[in-house]
Each structure stands twice: as C-alpha cells, then as structure tokens.
Structure 1
Amino acid sequence: MIVINEHLEELEKYCIKDPTLHPFTLWDLRNEREETDFYVDWDNGIRGYMLIYRGAAIPSVILHGSKSSMENLLQYFDEEKAIIHLPWNRRDIWKRDDKIYKIYIMAATPKFYFLDGEVKEVKDSKILSYLFENPEYLVEKAKTYAIIKDGFAISSASALVYLPEVWVLGAVITKKEYRNMGLASRVIGHFMSMAYQSTKNVALWVRSDNHIAIHLYEKYGFKVKREDAWINVSVDILP
C-alpha cells in the first residue's frame, strides 16, 4: 500500500541504518518537510519509498526499494520536469527516452587531515558569484568552505547535508584559471577535517566518467558504494 507523508518516523529509522545511501532523505525529513512529499510503500514495514522535493526550480526525486516497489511508486510521479535518482541496476523501470547519466555514490570515514588557514566558511553568497550563478542555497542551507582571493572564492566545497549521521560533500569547484594548483585538494582536506568533528560518515555523488574528481576523492578515502542513475526528465542538466 502506498501512503503519502505517513510512517515518517519509520522511514527515518529505515534510512539511518545506512545514512550514506539516504542522506538527502534524512535531511528532508528533518529540515524540508514543507517542500517535500514522501511516498512510502508500506506492508507492515517499508518496502520502498519515493521522495519528491519541490523547493528548487526543478523537482528532485529519489526512489529506493525493490524493483516492484519502485514501479508501484512511480505511478504517483506526475511532474512535467524533474531529476530522478534511483539505483543504476533499476534504471529499466523508467520507460521514457530521457537522458540518463551513471553516478557513483562514494563514501568515506572522515579523518583529521589539516585545517587550512586560507580556507574560510562563506557567509555571504556574493563571495561565490565567480563560481556559481545562483549561490544563495550554498550559504543559506549548506555549509560552504572556500579559498578567497580579492573578495571572491576561487575554490570551494560544500556540505550539502550536515547531520550527526552523515555529511554530503558537493559543489566542489575551482575557477578555471586556478585549476591544477592543488586548491581543490586543500579545500577538501579542510572539509574532511571539519566533518571529522561532527560525523562518522561522508558521502558524495560524482559522475562515473569524471575520473579526475574520482581520483582526488580516493585520496581522501572515498570508495564507490553504489552506482546510481541520474535521469533528466524534460530537462538538460549535467550532473
């Protein structure tokens, strides 16, 4: 039986069992309920779930569970545009001809590497304007760390989720003319050292063909945990 916005305490307990696979669900359960609908496949326990977050310009959808459960949950999906996330080996349940990217979910146990004196937590979104077109979210809802030059960030990384159970590393970027100078590695090392003080798990999502980024993440202990599908539903957004 599919229920909407019910059994949410049970859903949270279900996700806590493996927080590196469910960090955004945990975050939305605790912080974004007004912007999110949770569809739960319930049969004396959770068989699967679908989350639809509508707090951004393009809705974000997360599907998890058995193949039959996700097929049933998809019957409740009616967004004209969205980005859907589901396990790569279940991508065949999506019958439309939309662009699909392979994504790696990588996870690591944070360690204390170093605190870089030039890496600062960003409190003003204008500082990120060289790197992002719409950086407000990265200041208002995320924790963003950056190396700043002449008042603007030239390399940054964000904790898109920061919970006791898990942090999510994302929005890692360096301004083009400052690449290949080790700046991203410095920011990530600082990030992991900050995460070490708050959680035992860090996860990230990276496109499977982004070999340079994957190599950098592996230096900080990240390993591939699962392959996911990123499905662009009537949108053209590069992961």
Structure 2
Amino acid sequence: MIVDVFRELNRDVLSLIKRAYLADPVRYAYLYYDITYYPEFTEAYLNVVGNDIVGYLLIFRGLPYTAIHIIGNAPLNALNETLLNNHLVIHAETEPKHVNYLVNKLSSSGVVSLSRGLTMICWGNHFKEFVIRGNVTIRRLSINDIDEFLKIKNIQGSRISKAEALIRLSSPHWHYYGLFTNNELVAIAGTYLKLPEVWAIGDVFTAPNYRNRGFAKAVVSAITRDAINANAIAMLHVDEGNTPAIKVYGQLGYIAVQYFTWLRFEHNS
C-alpha cells in the first residue's frame, strides 16, 4: 500500500513512522525529522506492507536544490506526480534497477552524475576522542562568531547570507564547532539534523592553507563527543573515494554501515 503522508496524515501514520524511526534511527532519521520540523517543505510517500514500512520516498524543498531520499522499495511513481526543480541531489539506498530507472528518467531532460557514498556511524564506547596539541582553540560557535563564520563559508565556496548564518549559529537544529588559530577560524564541522537518538554531521571544511594538520579531525571529534554525551548516534556521509576522510573517521571510532548512491541532476537550460 502506498501512503501519501500529508494527504493521509493521521495518528496511525505518524505512529508507524515513529515506530520505524525508533527501531532504526539511521535509516529513518531524515523522514522523521523533516516531517516533524519542516512539513511545509516536505513531501513523503511510504510503501507499507502489513504494519511495516518497506520503502519510502522523501522530497525536501527547503534548500537551494531539491533533496530526495529513496530508501528501500520506494514508491518511485510518486516522482511523476510532483514538480521537480532544475537541481536535484538524490540519496538512494535501493536496488540497482531502481537507480537505473532514475538515471534513464532524468537523463532525457538533463545531466545526471553518479557517485557512491558511505554512511558511517559512531556511538557509545566506540568513540575515540582526538585531542589536538598546539596553539589552537576548539569551541562551539555562537552568533558572536558570525563574521568569522561568513568568512570561512566564503572560502569554502558556499556563500550564505548573514540571516542564514544567524539561523545556523542560533538554531537548536544546527550545532557548529570551529577551530581557531591566531583568532582566525580555519576549520568547521556542524550538525544539520539533531534528534535525541541521532545527530547527522556534515559541512566539514578546513581552509586550504591549514590542511593536513588534523584540524578537521579535531572539530569532527568535538562535535561527535557532544553527540555521544547526549546519548545519540553520530552519523555522517562520505564519498566512497574520499579515502583520507574515511580513514580519519575510522580513527575516531566510526564504522561504515551502508553504501548508497548519490545522484546529482541539472536540468538542460
């Protein structure tokens, strides 16, 4: 049975989603989080067999691009019924035949690129904290750091507005750490999803002149420590080809639990 979550939203549907999330927070984190906190930007379609969700399609429009999660035996036909913008980023944990279906569907109207990613998690006593030595300071960022934060985002090539920066540095859903040397912010890592059971970590960046010094490892360690202390699973996604990052995350106690496919789509102009 295919369930359009917001068309058929009721207590039973919400209970089904929450039960699935609590049983497997990593697999259902984005579904539960987006429905709970950002329903105005979210579409969700479930494939339900009996009392179990066997797949879902999640469409999130609260970003400059449309983010899509395709998990398990997802109801892909729902993509035919929704308007998609010119830029898609798709996270697909599903059978190759479904990925091929997507590639064929999208290739007719634009450019599709594919890569493989890894979902890695760390929890409890698996965590191995990394403490960096030297004349550096690592701390959680606040709105008082907005100028330095905007500066490093510009260096990263991810220019954001001051209003967006204020949201990220003050919202309970975001949680940034930074590493400072000589009062300059040179490395960051943050969460973009925080739930009691799982935190998703991303936006890991070190300014080019400060790389290969362990700075990214140090800020990821700091934010992972906060997740562990909150009794949550720390989760991150990394490109399969990013061997240095995978090695660093492994040294912090992260283990790979899921391969997935990243599809990026740009519509023909």
Report the TM-score when normalising by structure 1. 0.86
Equivalent residue runs for 1:151-190 within 5 Å: 151-190=183-222
Residue number among 70, 74, 78 corresponding to 2:75 in the alignment = 70
The 5 Å alignment of 1:11-30 reads 11-30=17-36
1:75-118: CA deviations, max 9, x gaps? 33430332111116432231233111211111111437367782
> What are the superposed Cα offsets for residues 3-53 of structure 1, whole Å, 9 maximum, x if unpaired?
242323312221222112232223212211222122223444323221111
Identity of aligned residues (%): 20
SS in 2 for 1:234: strand
**Secondary structure in structure 1 of the residue aligned to 2:81:** coil
Match of 1:92 in 2: 100
Larger radius of gyration: 2
2:129 corresponds to: 113
For residues 22 and 204 of structure 1, the distance between their equivalents in structure 2, rounded to whole angstroms, comes to 14
> What TM-score, normalized by structure 2, do the two folds share?
0.78
Q: Which amino acid aligns with 1:131?
A: I
Work out the CA distance in 2 between the residues paired with 1:143 and 1:76. Answer: 35
Taking the aligned partners of 2:50 and 2:80, their CA distance within structure 1 comes to: 21
The 8 Å contact of residues 46 and 75 in structure 2, kept in 1 or not, is answered as: no
Whole-angstrom CA distance in 2 between matches of 1:88 and 1:50: 11
Secondary structure of 1:20's counterpart equals: helix
| 1:32 to 2:45 alignment | no
1:53 to 54, 57, 60: 60
Q: CA RMSD in A?
A: 2.4
Matching residue's letter, 1:122: L
- Correspondence for 1:103: 117
Taking the TM superposition and a 5 Å limit, the aligned residue runs for 1:214-225 are 214-225=246-257
- Of the three residues 127, 151, 155, the one matched with 1:130 is 151
Q: Distance in 1 between matches of 2:37 and 2:256?
A: 27
Q: Secondary structure at the match of 1:75?
A: helix
Structure (1 or 2) with the greater helix fraction? 2
Structure 1 counterpart SS, 2:114: strand
Within 1, Cα distance between the matches of 2:256 and 2:62? 29
Q: Assess if the C-alpha contact under 8 Å between 1:168 and 1:202 holds in 2.
A: yes
Unaligned runs of 5+ in 1: none
Distance 1:77 1:204 in 2: 29
1:234 aligns with 266
1:192-218 deviations in Å (ceiling 9; x for gaps):
221111124111011111111111101
Unaligned runs of 5+ in 2: 154-158
In the alignment of these two chains, the number of paired residues is: 234
Q: Give, in angstroms, the shift of residue 74 of structure 1.
A: 3.3
Distance 2:34 2:184 in 1: 30
